[in-house]
C-alpha cells in the first residue's frame, strides 16, 4: 500500500511545458518548494472513490493478512484502521522480535518509512470488532481530501467479502457512492446542502427559485391597499 500526495502546482509544470529546459527552469528556479501544498492524496495511485475499486482490502473472517505499507508523500501519514487492531511486524524492512511487536489501530509513518502489519480478521473484539465495511485512512485531516473536497484522498475500505456486490463494490454505501462517483461533486458544482436533511431549510446562496405566486399576491395586496387609500382620501376631500 503506497501513500502518495500531489502538489498541483508542481505537477502542473510538467503538464504546461514540453521543452525540458522550460520544465527544468520552472521546477528549479521559479517554483518555490517552501510554498508548496499537497492537494491530492493517493493510495496505490488512486484517490477516493477509486480507492474502492483499486485499493479495497477484501477479506474473509478468520484470515491472517500481511499488509506492507510505504509512505512516499512528503508529509507524515497517520494510518487508521476502523474496527481492527493490527500488529507491526517489521519496520523499514527489518523484522521485529516478538517483544518489539506492538498492536494498535493508528500507525505513524514518517516520509519514506515502511511498515509490515499483521492483520487478523478474528471477531474477538480486539483483532476485529465484527465483519463489516470498515474505513481505513490517513487521520491527518487533509489526507482524505481531493483538492480540498471531502471525502476524497486516500479514504478506503476494508471489506468483508459477504458485503461486496458482484462487481466487488461495497454494498451498504449506495447513497454515498452515487454522490461521490459524480464528476460534479469534485468539480465543486453540487450544492453544499444537497441531499442532506438541511437541503430544504437552507438551500444554496443565490440559487433559491423566486416564489412567483407569493410575489403576485403581495403586489395585488399593495395595489388594493393603495387603491383603497386613494378612494378614502377622495371621499373625505368631497
Ligand atoms: Cu479513522
What are residue 6's phi and psi, to 5 degrees?
A: -130, 130
d(CA 67, ligand 1 centre) in Å: 17
For residues 130 and 237, give the distance between their C-alpha atoms in angstroms, rounded to a whole number. Answer: 87
- Residue 38 C-alpha to ligand 1 middle, in angstroms? 20
Q: What is residue 204's predicted lDDT score, i.e. its pLDDT?
A: 67
Residues in the chain: 238
In contact, 139 and 80? CB cutoff 8 Å: yes
Output the CA angle 206-210-213, nearest 5 degrees: 170
- CATH number for the segment(s) 2-172: 2.60.40.420
Q: Is the peptide bond before 151 cis (omega within 30 degrees of 0)?
A: yes
Averaged over 5-12, what is the pLDDT? 94
Query: What is the reported pLDDT for 174?
Result: 58
Q: How far is the CA of 156 from the centre of ligand 1 (A)?
A: 10
Q: For the chain, how far is it from start to end, CA to CA, in angstroms?
A: 93
Q: For the chain, what are the domain ranges?
A: 2-172
What is the percent of the chain where pLDDT is above 70?
92
Give tens-digit pLDDT for 60-88.
999 999 999 999 999 999 999 999 999 99
Interval between CA 141 and ligand 1 midpoint (Å): 10
166-187, pLDDT tens digit by residue? 888 888 655 667 778 888 888 8
Chain centroid to Cα 144, Å, comes to: 4
**Are 137 and 156 contacting, i.e. CB atoms less than 8 angstroms apart?**
yes
Amino acid at each position: 500500500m503506497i501513500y502518495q500526495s500531489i502538489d498541483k502546482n508542481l505537477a502542473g509544470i510538467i503538464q504546461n511545458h514540453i521543452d525540458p529546459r522550460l520544465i527544468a527552469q520552472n521546477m528549479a528556479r521559479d517554483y518555490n518548494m517552501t510554498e508548496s501544498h499537497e492537494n491530492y492524496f493517493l493510495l496505490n495511485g488512486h484517490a477516493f472513490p477509486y480507492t474502492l475499486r483499486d485499493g479495497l482490502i477484501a477479506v474473509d473472517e478468520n484470515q491472517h493478512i500481511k499488509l506492507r505499507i510505504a509512505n512516499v508523500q512528503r508529509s507524515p501519514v497517520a494510518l487508521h484502521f476502523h474496527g481492527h487492531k493490527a500488529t507491526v511486524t517489521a519496520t523499514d524492512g527489518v523484522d521485529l522480535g516478538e517483544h518489539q511487536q506492538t498492536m494498535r489501530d493508528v500507525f505513524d509513518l514518517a516520509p519514506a518509512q515502511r511498515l509490515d502489519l499483521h492483520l487478523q480478521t478474528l471477531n474477538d473484539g480486539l483483532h476485529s470488532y465484527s465483519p463489516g465495511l470498515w474505513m481505513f485512512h490517513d487521520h491527518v485531516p487533509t489526507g482524505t481530501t481531493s483538492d480540498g473536497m471531502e471525502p476524497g484522498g486516500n479514504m478506503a475500505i476494508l471489506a468483508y467479502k459477504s458485503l461486496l456486490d458482484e462487481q466487488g463494490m461495497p454494498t451498504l454505501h449506495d447513497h454515498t457512492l452515487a454522490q461521490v462517483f459524480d464528476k460534479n461533486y469534485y468539480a465543486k458544482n453540487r450544492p453544499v446542502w444537497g441531499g442532506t436533511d438541511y437541503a430544504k431549510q437552507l438551500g444554496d446562496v443565490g440559487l433559491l427559485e423566486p416564489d412567483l405566486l407569493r410575489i403576485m399576491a403581495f403586489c395585488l395586496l399593495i395595489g388594493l391597499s393603495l387603491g383603497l387609500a386613494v378612494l378614502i382620501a377622495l371621499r373625505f376631500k368631497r
